[in-house]
Amino acid sequence: MNAKQAAAIEAVKMVMDGQVVGLGSGSTAELFILELGKRVHTEGLDIIGIPTSKKSESIGRESGIPISTLEEHSAIDITVDGADEVDSNLDLIKGLGGALLREKIIAAATQKEVIVVDESKMVHQLGTKSPLPIEIVQFSHGHIARNLAKLGCTPNLRMKDSSPYVTDNGNYIIDCSFKGIENPEKLEIAVRSIPGVVETGLFLGMANTVIIGASTGIRIMKRKEQPARRSLR
């Protein structure tokens, strides 16, 4: 069993009968969905899944998980999702899979946000391994990128098959490379003040628990106190 699989299996143990469960996106979260589907099939686990992307919805349905939406279930008991970077404060960079907007909407509606990663995603400072994905409107994306560059990053429009990558919500993504992010809160405010920015891949104060899969076993980090949800706009 690899580290990602081990983390996913540990997360499945946290899901209880009768819960509304956010289904995250990315390779480790997809393993969680598959394992959760096994519990639905073998134990008759009674849950409802709220997917964070079209892909996680498809995997959930194929796994036998009943799927619904935030319109039908506005409060989510637990969400299990992945991350591209996690620091010691349990702050995250997410969005390399392209689902950051829906992931953040689901996370904000979730009572307990659980992140599953392997040990390679742990960092001392955000922005040291992964670029910061920024979801933007398609209109005047070059102008938006130039404004992002003023914040000290190298912005790159995400491409797929020689064309700009388009999210599930019809937007573009600019991946912003920093040499470390010293003040994530300040950067979040600055980025979101740029007209045309839809959402950022900074998930600050949102994760309750991080399950880390490693070659030596599972390590679990928990936030001591659940902070109030911060509105930065």
* pLDDT at res. 231: 42
What pLDDT sits at residue 225?
A: 63
pLDDT by residue (tens digit) across 14-59?
Answer: 999 999 999 999 999 999 999 999 999 999 999 999 999 999 999 9
Residues with catalytic roles: 103
Report the C-alpha gap between 155 and 146 in whole angstroms: 8
Q: pLDDT digits over 113-128, tens only? A: 999 999 999 999 999 9
Cα(25)–Cα(120) distance, rounded to whole angstroms?
A: 18
Question: What are the structure tokens assigned to 26, written together?
Answer: 């990315």
Q: What angle do CA 197, 203, 208 make, to 5 degrees?
A: 160
Q: How far apart are CA 115 and CA 7, in angstroms?
A: 9
Q: What's the whole-model pTM score?
A: 0.93
Domains and CATH numbers, the chain: 3-120+204-215 (3.40.50.1360), 132-199 (3.30.70.260)
Q: Which two tokens stand for residue 42?
A: 């073998």
